[in-house]
């Protein structure tokens, strides 16, 4: 089927369209943006993921901010094409049948990149197996290991069944798909088994594998008890994994497996490279900073603005550096349109009317404790006084907490409590059911993008990159990508003074309020054209670089190139 070599890109989640709930957050959105950029650049990538028939979950918030969840109803056949081959793998010694669906991404030049979705809702599987791929991150560790077996082993079987024989590289987006390395070894030793694997075989597999890690803390990496691995994969595979050091303290570490079998390993920002190198000192870690798909995340008002003045931007995002020549009045007008559309959406969803003349702060991302979604409300009285004396503020939030993350759910409740305490003095809106389209609207329609992660927990972050494409500058802790994208007062503002220091919440809270009081609010209300200059620089300096095209070129040159070209 494929006479020329391709690159297989494996990811547990892939975000392609809002209406396709096959993603939960940044990892899936990044995967989708990567594949879209490959299509734009005519790079022969193919995506491999799971078909989540019940999605991640549908979020419901009551008046107190209590989150509840329900399954997502959607119909894959409205978006995907069924493919002919049916494959099977063995889980717990029984046969699990898998069917395959295809989604075609068409790039700006008409080049197609296929994404294949693995689905166990197949006649012949029992009820438990039929539900295996249903929900993203929905089950316990045993369920997760079965899903990762389907992704790694099933994904490999699927590619071969579809006729992909010439695969130049296998790119593992996080460790979830690391079992594909076992499949590659088993192909080499079809008759002899894993017990006959030599270091030469292992080196041959390494030459084919690329691994991107996204997790800056040891606790975030998937681990499965060896006994569970034996139950799911069988004794032969478990013995092999133990022999080659992928099991530590009685557990299979999927990150260790991916590290061991990869010739190129990268973190997703320069800072994350350094942190990962400290965690995994025996492996050489590189960095390729994340980027976002510019055409996907640029809203219509700014698309039209760029098309008028920089028509080449769609095919080459680097042309956005010429945004320095965009007329300020046109940037202000495009932003005003994006803001009107966002506030109209807020009113439709919540019946709350926000004022387009008021500085609007945006914060939309996963509600997980290290993101510190509620840091803005650490000192309610100071915020109230600031809004009354320096300039009015309104805040728009969005984001889901994982169903089992009680700390994340508590954080959402605290925002609702702050809303109650502040009433109309600082209007606060929390929009439920955060998805790609809502995220795009918030990123483009607010006046400043707030980011308050606990250092050094932000591996990269991409929401601020999306905001920058729409002329929205960031106010952020110096962590992840912002260490590279931040030019104080030019592309946005830092909350803290140094990326090297550990988070000091008291200092960061004070610095956040001080920056709003002394810099952002006065500039926004008293020097609107100067504020617009920062907006313009965010497009020219951040938008032109922190995009998925630049990222893909770096993967092509550094990760996918033959070893002798490194």
Mean pLDDT of 306-320: 98
In this prediction the pTM is: 0.96
Paired strand residues for 253: 223
Mean pLDDT of 493-518: 90
Mean pLDDT of 80-109: 96
3-state helix, strand, coil in the chain (%, to 5): 45, 20, 35
Q: Which helix (H) or strand (E) holds 173?
A: strand 167-173
Based on the fold, state whether residues 352 and 217 are members of the same structural domain.
Answer: no
CATH code for the domain of 27? 3.40.50.2000
Tally of domains in the chain = 2
* More confident site: 139 or 41: 41
The answer to whether 170 touches 180, Cβ cutoff 8 Å, is yes
Based on the fold, state whether residues 197 and 100 are members of the same structural domain.
Answer: yes
Q: How much is the pLDDT for 191?
A: 65
Q: Give percent of the chain with pLDDT exceeding 70.
A: 98
Q: How much is the pLDDT for 248?
A: 87
Euclidean distance between CA atoms 450 and 91, whole angstroms: 45
Handedness of CA 429, 433, 434, 440 (dihedral sign): negative
Based on the fold, state whether residues 357 and 503 are members of the same structural domain.
Answer: yes
421-480, pLDDT tens digit by residue? Answer: 999 899 999 999 999 999 999 999 999 999 999 998 999 999 999 999 999 999 999 999
Euclidean distance between CA atoms 503 and 457, whole angstroms: 10
Residue 270 has pLDDT above 90, yes or no: yes
Based on the fold, state whether residues 109 and 44 are members of the same structural domain.
Answer: yes
Question: Which range marks the domain in which residue 50 is found?
Answer: 6-291+551-565
Q: How much is the pLDDT for 171?
A: 99
Residue with tokens 């892939």: 14
Is 1 within a domain? Answer: no
Based on the fold, state whether residues 243 and 196 are members of the same structural domain.
Answer: yes
Residue 414 has pLDDT above 80, yes or no: yes
Is 446 within a domain? Answer: yes
Residue 243 has pLDDT above 70, yes or no: yes
The confidence band for 566, taking pLDDT boundaries of 50, 70 and 90, is very low
Is 84 within a domain? Answer: yes
Q: How much is the pLDDT for 192?
A: 73
Q: Which residues contact 416 (CB under 8 A, 6 or more apart)?
A: 61, 63, 64, 65, 430
Please give the C-alpha separations between residue 382 and each of 354, 395, 425, in angstroms, as whole numbers: 22, 16, 12
509-539, pLDDT tens digit by residue? Answer: 999 999 999 999 999 999 999 999 999 999 9
Based on the fold, state whether residues 204 and 252 are members of the same structural domain.
Answer: yes
Q: How much is the pLDDT for 504?
A: 86
| Closest-CA residue to 475 (of 446, 507, 501, 506) | 446
Mean pLDDT of 327-340: 99
The answer to whether 24 touches 136, Cβ cutoff 8 Å, is yes
Residue 1 has pLDDT above 60, yes or no: no
Based on the fold, state whether residues 254 and 270 are members of the same structural domain.
Answer: yes
Residue 219 has pLDDT above 70, yes or no: no
Minimum mean pLDDT range among 9-18, 72-81, 188-197, 379-388: 188-197
Q: How much is the pLDDT for 563?
A: 58
Based on the fold, state whether residues 232 and 120 are members of the same structural domain.
Answer: yes
């Amino acid at each position: 089927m494929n006479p020329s070599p391709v690159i297989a890109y494996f990811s547990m989640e892939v975000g392609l369209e809002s209406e396709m709930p096959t993603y939960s957050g940044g990892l899936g959105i990044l995967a989708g943006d990567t594949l879209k950029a490959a299509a734009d650049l005519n790079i022969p990538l193919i995506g491999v993921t799971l078909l989540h028939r019940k999605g991640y979950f549908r979020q419901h918030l009551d008046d107190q901010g209590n989150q509840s969840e329900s399954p997502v109803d959607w119909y894959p056949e409205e978006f995907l094409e069924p493919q002919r081959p049916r494959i099977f793998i063995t889980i717990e010694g029984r046969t699990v049948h898998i069917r395959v669906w295809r989604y075609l991404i068409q790039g700006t030049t008409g080049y197609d990149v296929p994404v294949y979705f693995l689905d166990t809702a197949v006649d012949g599987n029992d009820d438990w197996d039929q539900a295996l791929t249903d929900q993203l991150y929905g089950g316990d560790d045993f369920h997760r290991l079965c899903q990762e077996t389907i992704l790694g082993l099933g994904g490999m079987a699927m590619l071969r069944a579809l006729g992909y024989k010439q695969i130049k590289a296998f790119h593992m987006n996080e460790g979830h798909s690391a079992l594909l390395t076992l499949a590659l070894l088993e192909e080499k030793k079809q008759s002899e088994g894993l017990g006959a694997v030599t270091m030469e075989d292992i080196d041959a597999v390494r030459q084919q594998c690329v691994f991107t890690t996204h997790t800056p803390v040891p606790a975030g990496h998937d681990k499965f008890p060896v006994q569970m691995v034996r139950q799911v994969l069988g004794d032969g595979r478990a013995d092999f994994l133990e022999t080659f050091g992928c099991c530590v303290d009685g557990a299979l570490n999927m990150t260790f497996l991916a590290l061991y079998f990869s010739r190129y390993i990268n973190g997703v920002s320069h800072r994350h490279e350094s942190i990962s190198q400290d965690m995994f000192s025996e492996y050489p870690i590189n960095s390729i900073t994340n980027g976002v798909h510019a055409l996907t995340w640029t809203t219509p008002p700014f698309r039209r603005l760029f098309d008028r003045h920089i028509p080449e931007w769609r095919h080459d995002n680097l042309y956005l550096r010429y945004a320095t020549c965009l007329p300020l009045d046109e940037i202000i007008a495009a932003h005003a349109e994006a803001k009107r559309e966002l506030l109209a959406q807020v009113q439709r969803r919540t019946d709350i009317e926000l004022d387009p003349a008021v500085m609007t702060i945006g914060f939309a991302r996963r509600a997980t404790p290290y993101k510190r979604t509620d840091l803005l409300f650490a000192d309610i009285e100071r915020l109230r006084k600031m809004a009354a004396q320096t300039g009015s503020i309104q805040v728009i939030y969005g984001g889901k907490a994982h169903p089992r993350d009680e700390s994340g759910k508590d954080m959402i409740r605290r925002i609702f409590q702050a809303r109650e305490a502040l009433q109309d003095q600082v209007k606060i809106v929390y929009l439920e059911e955060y998805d790609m389209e809502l995220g795009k609207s918030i990123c483009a329609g607010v006046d400043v993008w707030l980011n308050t992660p606990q250092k050094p927990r932000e591996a990269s972050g991409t929401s601020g990159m999306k905001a920058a494409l729409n002329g929205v500058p960031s106010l952020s802790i110096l962590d992840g990508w912002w260490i590279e994208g931040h030019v104080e007062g030019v592309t946005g503002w830092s909350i803290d003074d140094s990326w090297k220091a550990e988070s000091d919440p008291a200092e960061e809270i004070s610095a956040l309020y001080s920056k709003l009081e002394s810099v952002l609010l006065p500039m926004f209300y008293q020097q609107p054209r100067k504020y617009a200059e920062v907006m313009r620089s965010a497009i020219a300096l951040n938008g032109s670089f922190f995009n998925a095209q630049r990222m893909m070129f770096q993967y092509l040159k550094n990760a996918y190139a033959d070893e002798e070209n490194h």
